């Protein structure tokens, strides 16, 4: 009962808007002092030190740095413009270009906020100017921007790997098939809308495409595609080929992003300072929440909360899939209100021992959670991607446009979530091949 009360109070306080890290740590310490012994907290420094010395977590600041540096390099802007012109004659081609660029940025950065803001600033005014319906334009951009949750290298997968004690490399490989299929489903939806409602997704005029192809066409293609693909291969290729661990690959990616920014002539002292400030801010946010979650995890286990949960499930004779359904629904609802980092650090330490007791594949569970968290980024009324996009959208784009536009993409993601549940091989097949 004490562990359940601790969990409920934490959820309520976080929903009321109290700082997550300090709420997790503060309330847990109060419960520990009341129901346990002061001596119990002798374990805490060792736990925190063990968490902070986790080699896997070094990948977090490195991937953040890589994403922020790429955002400043101008590569995303060139990639989007080039892709839009190549697909411009197809109805819905601009929206397809946004999805493909979102996937490439996801494979280059893994940071949802940066991707959505970048895509919103670059493509939304252009799509509206070309008479795209605001609903399709905003829905496409917001959903494409969240692909960084599932397409590796994903910070979500790094954190899940750390919390659930799974190989991050296997998680990255396991996420490839669901990520690619999700991109294809988005594209098929856009093509369907363009066929059924041609006026909502018009093509680019021939004159603009001809003007784009007139001068230095192949040079534009090289700079637009080869450079980002080189970065993707240097990060993911080194992991999949067994050359580097995910943490080492993150360091390679950070270096490559810096070199690409130098090659583009965009690296100045101000840019470097801004990148380091933003990286430090985001990294500190993640790690201070992680410290709070470590305190919560220690006290929750000290109150035998995980044992009580396992015993309760065994007594009620709940099947593994019923428990999985409860967890997925809980995470989906929590995603309406709180951030993915908080969900990972609060929910997963509690439910992972139960999944392990059921002998369920934790790799498969982690990909399901990642896909679920991606859905929560888009869900009204508190979807973070919607907030990011509304912040950079022109005044004529209303909140109702965002809400209406995102609904079909949420349905697509939920269907994909169901497919992964029915066909676990979508996740487990590639890691079973053992690239090394």
226-249 pLDDT, tens per residue? 777 788 788 878 877 778 887 888
258 domain residue, yes or no:
yes
Q: What tens digit of pLDDT does each residue of 78-105 get?
A: 777 787 777 777 888 888 888 888 887 7
Q: Find the range with the poorest average confidence among 116-125, 156-165, 382-391.
A: 382-391
293 domain residue, yes or no:
no
Q: How far is CA 192 from CA 99, 100, 157, 345, 372, in A?
A: 15, 17, 32, 39, 25
- Residue-level length of the chain: 436
352 domain residue, yes or no:
no
Q: Count the Cβ atoms, other than its own, within 10 Å of residue 263.
A: 13
* Total tally of structural domains belonging to the chain: 1
Q: How far is CA 162 from CA 40, 51, 69, in A?
A: 24, 9, 25
Q: What is the DSSP letter of 41?
A: G
3-state helix, strand, coil in the chain (%, to 5): 80, 0, 20
Q: Give φ, ψ of 123 to 5 degrees.
A: -105, -30
Nearest to 345 by CA among 165, 160, 168, 166: 160
Burial (CB < 10 A; 0-12, 13-18, 19+), residue 414, is middle
For the chain, the maximum distance between any two Cα atoms, rounded to a whole number of angstroms, is: 76
Q: What tens digit of pLDDT does each residue of 119-138 get?
A: 777 778 878 888 888 899 89
355 domain residue, yes or no:
no
pTM over 0.95: no
186 domain residue, yes or no:
yes
320 domain residue, yes or no:
no
Instruction: Give every CB contact of residue 228 below 8 A, 6+ residues apart in sequence.
Output: 75, 79, 104, 105, 108
pLDDT of residue 420: 93
406 domain residue, yes or no:
yes
Cα three-residue angle 8-10-16, rounded to 5 degrees:
105
Q: What is the DSSP letter of 58?
A: G
The rounded mean pLDDT for the chain is 81
314 domain residue, yes or no:
no
Range of the domain at 261: 57-267+383-433
């Amino acid at each position: 009962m004490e562990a359940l009360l601790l969990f409920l109070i934490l959820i309520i306080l976080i929903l009321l808007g109290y700082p997550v890290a300090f709420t997790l740590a503060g309330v847990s310490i109060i419960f520990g002092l009341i129901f346990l012994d002061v001596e119990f907290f002798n374990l805490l420094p060792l736990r925190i030190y063990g968490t902070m010395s986790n080699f896997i977590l070094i990948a977090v600041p490195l991937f953040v740095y890589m994403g922020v540096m790429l955002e400043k390099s101008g590569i995303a802007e060139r990639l989007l413009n080039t892709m839009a012109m190549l697909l411009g004659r197809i109805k819905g081609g601009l929206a397809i270009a946004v999805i493909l660029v979102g996937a490439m940025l996801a494979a280059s950065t893994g940071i949802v906020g940066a991707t959505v803001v970048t895509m919103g600033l670059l493509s939304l005014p252009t799509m509206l100017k070309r008479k795209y319906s605001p609903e399709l334009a905003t829905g496409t951009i917001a959903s494409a921007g969240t692909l960084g949750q599932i397409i590796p290298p994903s910070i979500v997968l790094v954190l899940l790997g750390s919390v659930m004690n799974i190989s991050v490399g296997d998680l990255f490989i396991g996420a490839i098939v669901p990520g690619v299929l999700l991109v294809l489903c988005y594209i098929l939806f856009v093509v369907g809308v363009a066929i059924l409602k041609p006026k909502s997704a018009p093509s680019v005029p021939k004159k603009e495409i001809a003007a784009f192809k007139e001068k230095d066409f192949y040079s534009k293609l090289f700079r637009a595609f080869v450079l980002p693909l080189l970065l993707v291969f240097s990060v993911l290729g080194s992991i999949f080929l067994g050359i580097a661990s995910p943490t080492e690959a993150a360091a390679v990616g950070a270096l490559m992003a810096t070199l690409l920014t130098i090659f583009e002539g965009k690296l100045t002292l101000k840019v470097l300072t801004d990148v380091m400030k933003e990286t430090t801010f985001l990294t500190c946010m993640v790690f201070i929440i992680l410290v709070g979650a470590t305190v919560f995890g220690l006290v929750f286990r000290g109150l035998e909360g995980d044992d009580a949960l396992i015993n309760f499930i065994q007594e009620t004779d709940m099947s593994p899939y019923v428990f999985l359904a409860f967890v997925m629904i809980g995470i989906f609802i929590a995603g309406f209100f709180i951030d993915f980092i908080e969900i990972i650090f609060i929910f997963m330490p509690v439910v992972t021992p139960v999944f392990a007791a059921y002998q369920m594949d934790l790799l498969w569970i982690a990909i399901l959670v990642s896909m679920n968290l991606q859905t929560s980024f888009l869900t009204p009324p508190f979807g973070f991607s919607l907030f990011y996009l509304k912040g950079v959208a022109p005044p004529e784009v209303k909140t109702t446009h965002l809400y209406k536009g995102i609904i079909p993409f949420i349905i697509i993601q939920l269907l994909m979530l169901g497919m992964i549940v029915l066909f676990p091989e979508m996740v487990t097949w590639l890691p079973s091949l053992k690239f090394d």
